[in-house]
Amino acid sequence: MSGKPRLTYLNGRGRMESIRWLLAAAGVEFEEVYLETKEQYDKLIKDGFLLFQQLPVVEIDGMKMVQTRAILSYIAGKYNLYGKDLKERALIDMYVEGISDLMQMILMFPFSPPDAKEKNLESIKERATNRYFPVFEKVLKQHGQDFLVGNKFSWADVQLMEAILAVEEKVPAVLSGFPQLQVFKTKMSNMPTIKKFLQPGSPRKPPPDAHYVETVLKIFKN
């Protein structure tokens, strides 16, 4: 056991990607194990490796952590990305939960039936533009600081950065009405750990393609 966190998931974004982002942003090196077949997944379940028989699972500090939010909260707490007190943590949690709702729409998108794809894409664009991005634009404008909470880099900034890039992949001009978010995006991109994660060869995974969708359906088929 090298001591590095070990991530077990498919070789794709899914629910593990936010965890990759946060570890990377915190400057934490990690290992990955990729599941490619249903047999590998069934074996994990049979071996009692997965608390609720689900992925993601992250081996970290002697625990086999499951449940994405629990894992992210632990990493944020451990690496000082969770604010300085309870109230800052509350803000970070609120922001992260809101962004998660938006990311959930993007997560599910590749699995929409073909005749629903256009409508779902429109929903993502509408929610990003009318519900989520305006909140963060306003937060940044009001305090004029570089980071969302407490004038310090936190989990909320990492999650927002991930969401901005994910939405831009689907709606390229989505930041056109959000000057503060454009500046935020540039600043985040230039933070050394994030810059490194955004370079080719990093653990960052590409957008889901047909092969990924096929693998998911195959492995998680009940």
Binding site for other proteins (CB under 8 A): 51-53, 61, 63, 65-67, 69-70, 73-74, 77-78, 86-87, 89-90, 93-94, 96-98, 101, 131-132, 135
Q: Closest CB to other proteins among 25 and 71?
A: 71
Specify the residue, 36 or 101, whose C-beta has the smaller distance to other proteins: 101
Minimum distance of other proteins from residue 176's CB (angstroms): 21
CB of 96 to other proteins, least distance (A): 8
Taking the least distance from each CB to other proteins, the nearer of 70 and 116 is 70
Cβ 135 vs Cβ 102: under 8 Å: no
Q: Which residue lies nearer to other proteins by CB, 50 or 165?
A: 50
- DSSP annotation of 131 reads I
CB of 198 to other proteins, least distance (A): 27
Q: Which is nearer to other proteins, 48 or 200 (CB)?
A: 48
111: CB partners within 8 A, 6+ apart: 213, 216
Q: What share of the chain is helix, strand, coil (3-state, %, to 5)?
A: 60, 10, 30
Q: Which residue has the tokens 């997560």?
A: 107
CB nearer other proteins, residue 4 or residue 78: 78
Show the tokens assigned to 175: 């930041």
In the complex, least distance from residue 72 CB atom to other proteins, rounded to whole angstroms: 9
The residues near 97 (Cβ < 8 Å, ≥ 6 apart) are none
Choose between 98 and 150: whose C-beta lies nearer to other proteins.
98
- Is residue 148 within 8 Å of residue 157, measured between CB atoms? yes
Cα(186)–Cα(148) distance, integer angstroms:
14
Provide the edge-to-edge strand list for the sheet that holds 57-60.
31-35, 6-10, 57-60, 63-66
Residue 172 Cβ, how far from other proteins at the closest point, in Å?
24
Contact present, 92 and 82 (Cβ < 8 Å): yes
Q: Which residues of 194-208 are buried (b: 16+ CB within 10 A; e: fewer)?
A: beebbeeeebbbeeb
d(CA 216, CA 164): 24
Q: In whole angstroms, how close is the CB of 52 to other proteins at the nearest point?
A: 5
Closest distance of CB 10 from other proteins, Å: 20
